[in-house]
Structure 1
Amino acid sequence: MSLNVLAVDDSRTMRDMLNLALSSAGFTAHLAEDGLHGLEVLSEIEPDVIITDINMPRMDGFGFIEALRSDDRWSRIPILVLTTESADELKAKARSAGATGWIVKPFDPAKLVKALQMVAG
């Protein structure tokens, strides 16, 4: 399964790690630095699944998820939150915003790939 994945994270190191994990799995990775940049990138691609961090400048992950869910073009795309946060109330807030799943950093590349295949399949 080859997936088109948008990964949104303000950390260059994390974007590099995601790019490596995704491309190693045969996925096409599109990278963005924050929620606003993610929306710009979305205007040019059609991802099968989206990965987003929560804590980012300009537009955080919650705002990004809400923007996606309010737009018919992206309302059905699975969204995985990838963050260092693990508090239950933040998970609940992400779910209510429209997130599909939650992965805590640091991530295991094999588990990330499997989770992407599950939600996109």
Structure 2
Amino acid sequence: MNTQPNVLLIDDDADLLEIYTFALEEMGCVVTTAHDGLEGLERALALHPDLILTDVHMPRMNGLELCCWLRADERLRGTPLILHSSENAIIAPRGEVFLHKDGDLSRLLAQVRRSLGGGRDGPTLASVA
């Protein structure tokens, strides 16, 4: 039996959380949300999601700090991570995916598909019935 991929979505913009959650659920994902990096880290440690999609600029812990914490944790270091920001001058840590928040939802969803389809044991969108 196939399972749906679990995506942790972290952003301090409630409107974007709603839009992205709807789009990801339409793709067949189970979505958990968090409103800042610290809450996101707590949820990631508890849930071990298949993919983490995070904003960069957030209160309490930004997305780059979150990335460092996730990569330091043995259980989460292999989890695909997409950093997302409206700022162009972000330098993503080596090996991480960065997407500019430019309003192109189809580009974001295409990257989610790629990230879920590659290299990690677990559910992928291709396996969702």
SS at match of 2:47: coil
1:72 and 1:95 map into 2 onto residues whose CA distance is: 17
Q: Which runs of 4+ in 1 moved over 4 A?
A: none
Equivalent residues in 2 for 1:23-38 (5 A)?
Answer: 23-38=25-40
Q: TM-score, normalised by structure 2?
A: 0.81
2:23 match: 21
The partner residue of 1:106 within 93, 102, 121 is 102
Equivalent residues in 2 for 1:39-118 (5 A)?
Answer: 39-87=41-89, 90-91=90-91, 94-96=92-94, 100-118=96-114
1:49 and 1:60 map into 2 onto residues whose CA distance is: 17
> Displacement, 1:65?
0.3
2:40 and 2:82 map into 1 onto residues whose CA distance is: 14
Q: Which amino acid aligns with 2:109?
A: V
Task: Give the number of equivalent residue pairs.
Answer: 115
Larger radius of gyration: 2
Q: Give a deviation string over 1:47-80, Cα, whole Å, max 9, x none.
A: 1111111111100111100000000010001110
> Displacement, 1:19?
0.5
CA RMSD, Structure 1 to Structure 2 (Å): 1.6
SS at match of 2:84: strand
Identity of aligned residues (%): 33
More helix by share: 1
Structure 2: which 5+ runs fail to align? 118-129
Higher relative contact order (CA 8 A, sep 6+): 2
1:5 and 1:20 map into 2 onto residues whose CA distance is: 12
- The worse-fitting range, judged by mean Cα deviation, of 100-109 and 3-12 is 100-109
